Amino acid sequence: MDIGKIDETLEKFLAENHTPEGVERLADRFHHQGVVKFDKDARLVPEELMTAVRAEADRLVAEHRERRDLLLATTGNTPRKMSVVKSEQIERSELIRTIATSEVLLGFLGRIARERVIPEVSADERYLITHQEFTADTHGWHWGDYSFALIWALRMPPISCGGMLQAVPHTHWDKSDPRINETLCERRIDTHGLVTGDLYLQRTDTTLHRTVPLTEDGAARTILNMTWAGERDLDKPLVGNDRWWENPQAQAAQAVRQD
C-alpha cells in the first residue's frame, strides 16, 4: 500500500462507489440510528487498504496488547473484558495515522455527519484496538467522550458466537447517574451484525452501545477505533477519571473478581 497515495486512492474509490443521493441516504440513516455501516453493498475503503490495516493491527495486538477485566462506575458498573492496544502504540503506525487524518476521508464522513469531523481529541482517545477472544469477553454498555468514531471490523466471529454491536441512539450520558438499565427499559435496542471487513461510523457521545458478549473461547473479535471530535467537543472537559483503556487503575475502574 502506497501511503503517499492514500488520499488519491480514497477520493477515486469513494467517487466510484457513492453517489450524492446515496450519501444523503447514509446521512439520514446515521441521524436516525446513530450508526451507519459500510459493508459489501456500500464500501468505504478498497480491499487493499482494509487488508493493510488488518495486518498492521494484527502486528500491534501481537506486540502490545494489555488485558483488561474491570467494571466501570461511570457507566453503571458495566464490564470491560478484552485486551487493548493503547493509542500511543497505534500512533506510531504511519499507515493508520495517515488514514485517520485524511482530508478526503474526513470530508466524506462529514457529509454523512452533516457537520465537520475534526481530528482533535485527547492523545489517549485518538485510536484504540480492542481484541476479544474468550467466553464472556465484551465491551459493556457505554458512551464516548467525543462525538464520532469509525470502527474497523478487522476480525469478526460468526454471529452465533456473539460480538454484534447493540446501540440505543439519542441518549445522554450523565457520569454521576448513568441510568443505563432504565434507558434500556425505556428505549428500543438496535442490533447490528458485522462481518470481517465491515466498517461503521457511530455518533458515540449520544449513542449508548455495547458489544454482545462472546459465547466461545477462540471466537476472536478485533476492531480498530478511530475517534474524532465535533465542534461541540473542542472546549469540553474530560471528567470522571475513567480512562480505563489507558490506566486499569483509573478511579472509576474496579477489577472483576476471578472466582
Query: How many CA atoms lie within 13 Å of 175's alpha carbon, on the beta-carbon side?
Result: 16
Under DSSP, is residue 25 helix (H, G, I), strand (E, B) or coil?
A: helix
Does the structure show a pLDDT above 90 at 258? no
From residue 158, give the alpha-carbon distance in Å to each of 41, 196, 243, 255: 19, 9, 30, 29
Query: Could you tell me if 223 and 231 are in contact, meaning their C-beta atoms sit under 8 angstroms apart?
Result: no
The sign one gets for the Cα dihedral 139, 142, 145, 151 is: positive
Nearby residues of 94 by Cβ (< 8 Å), 6 or more positions away: 3
Q: Which domains does the chain have, with CATH numbers?
A: 3-234+250-255 (2.60.120.620)
Q: How far apart are CA 231 and CA 115, in angstroms?
A: 8
pLDDT digits (tens, 9 = 90+) for 189-224: 999 999 999 999 999 999 999 999 999 999 999 999
Q: What is the pTM of this model?
A: 0.96
Q: Is 130 exposed, middle or buried (0-12, 13-18, 19+ CB in 10 A)?
A: buried
Query: Could you tell me if 3 and 95 are in contact, meaning their C-beta atoms sit under 8 angstroms apart?
Result: yes
Task: Give 171's pLDDT tier (boundaries 50, 70, 90).
Answer: very high
pLDDT digits (tens, 9 = 90+) for 113-165: 999 999 999 999 999 999 999 999 999 999 999 999 999 999 999 999 999 99
Q: How far apart are CA 133 and CA 157, in angstroms?
A: 9
Comparing CA positions, the residue from 21, 33, 24 lying closest to residue 200 is: 33
Does the structure show a pLDDT above 80 at 257? no
Average pLDDT over all residues of the chain: 96
Crossing angle of the two packed helices 47-64 and 6-17, in degrees rounded to 10: 130
Q: For residue 152, which phi and psi values (nearest 5 degrees)?
A: -95, 115
Q: For residue 209, which phi and psi values (nearest 5 degrees)?
A: -155, 160
What percentage of the chain exceeds 90 in pLDDT? 95
